[in-house]
């Protein structure tokens, strides 16, 4: 089940109807009960038994937070309860996401020593949204430990937060402190609320079904050709650009729908993407791409490691550690490790060169650095999309050969769907530099109508959201 399936529509409609008729303040027991049932069905749709995994994580964090709150600051028992919460979450996440990766690494190591016996793999299906709800749940116990948040009294309320289905599968990663303060806040379903939510949903559907899905088939069909010796540099480069657009369309589309659905239900989700392809530095790219993950890693990993408060060498090490772990968060593969490592090295080099905040630099330097940033981002997407590091390296090598062979017709046609991403980013750039004004409500309404027309006429073959695999 996903946001673009009829099953989800049938699941959401009763919740939305109850919200309109009875749940005007969104804290009525009936509305809460209907939402909890819908969220539970959504969780169990994939593998019903996996609700037990989520309940284990939720139960441990709920109890640990209450025990942490009862202990005085600085006590050993307080730290012990936090460690219990963190260990439980990370063990569950590690087992399901990384067990087979670890077994494969052991097998390759044994082969390097001449042992040719195969290491058996585990028959594991990844629980839906485990990376996202684990980080959300962990934020709760960490913030209680830090004194930023009081533990909730009722288990029901914590269960509601973790399983809230609009953000469950692919985010945005919602922290407890961003959610619980909204729980009792009145947000009646006025027309203004409905219109804003509808615009976000239609925008997300357009990005996913029209843009991402029309590109996905072409990228899936032709990507492996980039690994072949003497592959066309032009085709490989176009496929890289297409995938960069596809993953933006796909993930921003999901995030936009999630934000719109949550808005209809009375909750405001944080922005998850802010036009990353106009970023003029690597640090700014991560302020714009998957913002909720970037800020989570910053607040719960980078700053506790020391951030930039220590020596320069320590700061570079912290950047590299955070980005390597960010890469591994996306999946258990050497290609993800390479993707994260390259971004970590890019951030370190940028800081070394004093380009992390390029505004003070001459305009020509800023322009040149922008192209460096975006070229490196494109190169790293190659490794993100490729099944192995060697495949990504072969793909990049073919681009750098500059052998211009006519790309396949399907690849050229798919480039038409790059138009929306160019227009979106160009307009965002002009708004940020006050060249034009933000869209007015009548303009949003007109654009939503055009996007909806495109959704029903130009939709591509349906594919899963890319970030479902994480």
- Our answer to whether residue 230 is catalytic in this structure is no
Tokens encoding 295: 């800020």
Tokens encoding 202: 């239609």
| Integer Cα distance of 162 and 164 in angstroms | 6
Tokens encoding 312: 């320069």
| Integer Cα distance of 127 and 154 in angstroms | 25
Contact 392, 338 (CB under 8 A): yes
For residue 373, give every residue at least 6 positions away whose Cβ sits within 8 Å of its Cβ, in sequence order, or none.
279, 280, 281, 282, 285, 346
**DSSP category for residue 401:** T
Sign for the pseudo-dihedral over CA of 223, 225, 231, 235: negative
Contact 320, 337 (CB under 8 A): no
Q: What Cα–Cα distance (Å) separates residue 435 from each residue in 60, 121, 427?
A: 51, 56, 9
**How much of the chain is in helix, strand and coil states, percent to nearest 5?**
75, 0, 25
**Which of the residues 167, 196, 330, 343 is marked catalytic?**
330
CA dihedral 159, 161, 162, 165 (to 10 degrees): 110
| Integer Cα distance of 300 and 313 in angstroms | 20
| Integer Cα distance of 83 and 118 in angstroms | 35
* Catalytic sites, residue numbers: 330
């Amino acid at each position: 089940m996903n946001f673009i399936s009829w099953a989800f529509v049938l699941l959401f409609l009763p919740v939305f109807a109850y919200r309109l008729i009875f749940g005007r303040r969104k804290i009525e027991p009936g509305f809460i009960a209907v939402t909890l049932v819908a969220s539970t069905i959504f969780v169990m749709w994939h593998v019903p038994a996996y609700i037990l995994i989520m309940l284990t994580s939720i139960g441990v964090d709920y109890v640990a937070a209450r025990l942490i709150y009862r202990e005085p600051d600085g006590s050993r028992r307080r730290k012990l309860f936090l460690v219990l919460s963190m260990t439980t979450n990370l063990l569950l996440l590690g087992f399901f996401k990384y067990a087979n990766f670890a077994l494969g690494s052991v097998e390759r190591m044994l082969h390097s020593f001449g042992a040719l016996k195969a290491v058996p793999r585990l028959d594991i299906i990844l629980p839906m949204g485990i990376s996202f709800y684990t980080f959300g749940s962990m934020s709760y116990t960490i913030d209680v430990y830090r004194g930023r948040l009081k533990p909730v009294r009722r288990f029901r309320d914590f269960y509601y937060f973790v399983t809230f289905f609009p953000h469950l599968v692919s985010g945005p990663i919602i922290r407890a402190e961003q959610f619980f303060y909204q729980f009792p806040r009145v947000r009646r379903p006025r027309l203004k609320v409905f219109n804003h939510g509808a615009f976000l949903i239609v925008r997300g559907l357009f990005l996913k079904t029209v843009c991402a899905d029309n590109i996905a088939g072409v990228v899936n069909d032709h990507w492996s050709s980039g690994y072949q010796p003497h592959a066309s540099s032009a085709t490989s480069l176009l496929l890289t650009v297409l995938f960069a657009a596809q993953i933006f369309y796909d993930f921003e589309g999901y995030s936009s729908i999630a934000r719109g659905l949550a808005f209809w239900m009375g909750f405001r989700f944080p922005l998850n993407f802010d036009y990353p392809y106009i970023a003029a530095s690597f640090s700014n790219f991560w302020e714009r791409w998957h913002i909720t993950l970037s800020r989570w890693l910053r607040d719960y990993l980078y700053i506790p490691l020391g951030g930039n408060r220590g020596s320069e060498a320590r700061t570079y090490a912290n950047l590299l550690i955070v980005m390597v772990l960010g890469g591994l968060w996306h999946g258990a593969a050497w290609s993800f490790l390479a993707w994260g490592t390259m971004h970590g090295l890019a951030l370190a080099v940028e800081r070394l060169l004093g380009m992390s905040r390029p505004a003070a630099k001459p305009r020509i330097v800023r322009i040149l650095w922008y192209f460096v940033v975006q070229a490196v981002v494109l190169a790293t997407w190659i490794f993100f999309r490729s099944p192995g590091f060697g495949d990504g390296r072969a793909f990049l090598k073919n681009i750098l050969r500059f052998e211009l062979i006519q790309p396949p017709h399907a690849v050229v046609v798919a480039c038409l769907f790059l138009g929306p991403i160019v227009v979106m980013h160009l307009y965002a750039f002009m708004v940020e530099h006050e060249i034009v004004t933000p869209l007015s409500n009548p303009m949003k309404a007109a654009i939503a109508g055009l996007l909806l027309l495109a959704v029903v006429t130009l939709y591509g073959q349906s594919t899963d959201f890319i970030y479902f695999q994480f």
